[in-house]
């Protein structure tokens, strides 16, 4: 029997969803031409940037999971992931793919691991909260080079983004302390690499699909997810434009301006914060064209907070992806709030030592200064670039896990 609180909550949700739907329909009726243009703009972003950038990695991740690579990584990285983040070693695969490939791959892979019962609900809520991040190409290419025309700013944004993401992961290890946990990977005297290959082989046999069937399923699942992502991008493009036309954005700007003033930040950045609340790319672009009187450190701090928050468009994508599982959206929402606050603070803390004193164009690797352009023609280049990031992250995590493993082995022998 439902409690009175849950009944009120359901009523509020119904009213909220009904209001949003009515607002969307009303805006389409009042401004049909502008709504059409904004929908086309969202479609272009999806087709030229999101679809070619994410499709190869959605397909590749599904194939790798079918081949048992997740189980292989689970054995290798169990000593790294479980003590630090209270998630099984299989979460390392999601972490590497999510940090390298960007939204919403972290959520998609977390849901897949939960469906395969490789994660408990609590572990899934922890994992998705810090692995669903922006990708390096967005921070260096779209923001630093495209909007601010300074590649060194990408280093500051990336350091703040990934550092705050790991801090969120460490904080979320205390989430749901009494929640269920998957059993640790069984250990024996066999060399850990052999155990990892054995786990991968057993998972491949258990999956049982032929290569052709696996590739077909991977393509079908990936395109379905990307169509979902595209729908949300188009919808929020229309909503954001409608809010500006109707005047809602102007009302919110006063509130956000007051909030920024209290935080001793320039009120001129309020419009970028409002837009970024809904869509990160537009929010970052607005911050880049803020008046020159606004200090660059404050602009980048706002961009860092917007990027970490990720926008309600990405939130809607994640909520939809997680709806096929029992993983709750609420912990993810508060994790994004925490991530945004931490990213903004860390940006301000590291601005002077990193940007002003340690960085120059020559200090930034050449492959980051020549970021692949958007579009289908550069798909291979983007695949190689993001794949390099993913391999670098996996290598680093494997090295750390190996060090942890050696330390524990030595401690056991001493004791």
Would you state the pLDDT for residue 57? 80
Would you state the pLDDT for residue 263? 83
Residue 19 counted as domain residue: no
Would you state the pLDDT for residue 34? 86
Burial of residue 102 (CB within 10 Å: 0-12, 13-18, 19+) is buried
Question: Looking up tokens 């739907």, which residue turns up?
Answer: 21
Domain count, the chain: 1
Residue 15 counted as domain residue: no
Distance of CA 88 to the CA centre of its chain: 19
Question: Looking up tokens 């919110």, which residue turns up?
Answer: 252
Residue 409 counted as domain residue: yes
Residue 3 counted as domain residue: no
pLDDT (tens digit per residue) in 60-73: 888 888 888 888 88
Q: At what angle do helices 51-66 and 105-115 cross, to 10 degrees?
A: 20
pLDDT (tens digit per residue) in 220-245: 988 998 898 888 888 888 888 887 78
Residue 14 counted as domain residue: no
Residue 243 counted as domain residue: yes
Alpha-carbon dihedral sign for residues 243, 245, 247, 249: positive
Residue 23 counted as domain residue: no
Residue 16 counted as domain residue: no
Report the alpha-carbon distance of residue 408 to residue 402 in Å, rounded.
Answer: 10
Would you state the pLDDT for residue 363? 55
Phi-psi group of 364: left, alpha or beta (phi > 0 → left; psi -120 to 50 → alpha; rest → beta): beta
The four Cα atoms 35, 38, 40, 45 give a dihedral, to 10 degrees, of: -160
Would you state the pLDDT for residue 328? 93
Structural domain range at position 274: 31-414
pTM, two decimal places: 0.84
Give the CA distances from residue 396 to residues 92, 311, 390, in Å, rounded to whole numbers and listed in that order.
Answer: 11, 29, 10
Give, for all 415 residues of the chain, the pLDDT tens digit: 455 665 666 777 788 778 877 877 887 788 888 888 888 988 888 888 778 878 888 888 888 888 888 888 888 888 888 888 999 988 888 888 888 778 888 899 999 999 988 899 999 999 999 998 888 878 887 788 778 888 788 889 989 999 999 999 999 999 888 888 888 877 666 777 788 888 888 888 888 888 888 889 889 988 998 898 888 888 888 888 887 787 777 778 878 888 888 888 888 888 888 888 888 888 888 888 888 888 899 999 999 999 999 888 899 889 999 998 999 999 999 999 999 999 999 999 998 888 666 665 555 555 555 555 555 556 666 666 666 767 777 777 777 777 777 777 777 677 6
- Strands (E) in 338-388, as ranges, are none
Are 88 and 125 in contact by the 8 Å Cβ rule? The answer is no
Residue spans of alpha helices (H) in 247-295: 248-262, 270-278, 280-288
Would you state the pLDDT for residue 1? 45
């Amino acid at each position: 029997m439902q409690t009175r609180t849950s009944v009120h909550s359901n009523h509020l949700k119904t009213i909220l969803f009904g209001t949003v739907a009515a607002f969307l329909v009303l805006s389409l009726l009042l401004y049909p031409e502008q709504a059409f243009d904004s929908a086309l703009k969202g479609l272009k972003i999806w087709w030229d940037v999101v679809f070619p950038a994410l499709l190869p990695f959605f397909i590749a991740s599904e194939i790798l999971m079918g081949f048992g690579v997740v189980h292989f990584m689970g054995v290798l990285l169990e000593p790294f992931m479980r003590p630090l983040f209270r998630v099984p070693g299989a979460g390392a695969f999601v972490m590497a793919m999510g940090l390298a490939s960007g939204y919403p791959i972290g959520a998609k892979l977390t849901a897949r691991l939960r469906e395969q019962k490789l994660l408990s609900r609590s572990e899934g809520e922890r994992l998705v909260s810090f692995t669903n991040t922006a990708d390096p190409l967005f921070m260096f290419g779209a923001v630093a080079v495209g909007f601010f025309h300074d590649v060194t700013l990408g280093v500051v944004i990336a350091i703040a983004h990934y550092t705050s993401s790991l801090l969120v992961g460490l904080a979320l290890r205390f989430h749901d302390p009494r929640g269920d946990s998957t059993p640790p990977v069984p250990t024996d005297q066999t060399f850990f690499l052999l155990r990892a290959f054995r786990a991968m082989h057993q998972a491949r046999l258990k999956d049982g699909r032929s290569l052709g069937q696996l590739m077909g399923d991977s393509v079908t699942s990936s395109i379905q997810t990307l169509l979902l992502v595209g729908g949300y991008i188009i919808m929020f493009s229309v909503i954001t434009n409608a809010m500006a036309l109707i005047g809602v954005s102007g009302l919110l700007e006063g509130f956000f301006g007051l909030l920024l003033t209290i935080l001793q930040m320039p009120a001129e950045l309020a419009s970028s914060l409002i837009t970024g609340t809904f869509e990160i790319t537009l929010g970052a672009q607005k911050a880049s064209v803020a008046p020159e009187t606004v200090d660059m450190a404050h602009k980048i701090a706002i961009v860092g907070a917007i990027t970490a928050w990720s926008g309600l468009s990405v939130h809607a994508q994640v909520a939809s992806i997680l709806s096929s599982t029992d993983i709750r959206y609420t912990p993810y929402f508060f994790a994004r709030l925490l991530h945004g606050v931490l990213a903004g603070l860390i940006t301000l803390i590291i601005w002077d030592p990193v940007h002003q004193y340690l960085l120059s164009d020559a200090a930034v690797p050449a492959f980051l200064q020549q970021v692949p352009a958007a579009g289908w023609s550069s798909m291979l280049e983007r695949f190689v670039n993001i794949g390099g990031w993913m391999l670098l992250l996996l290598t680093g995590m494997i090295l750390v896990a190996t060090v942890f493993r050696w330390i524990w082995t030595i401690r056991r022998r001493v004791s």
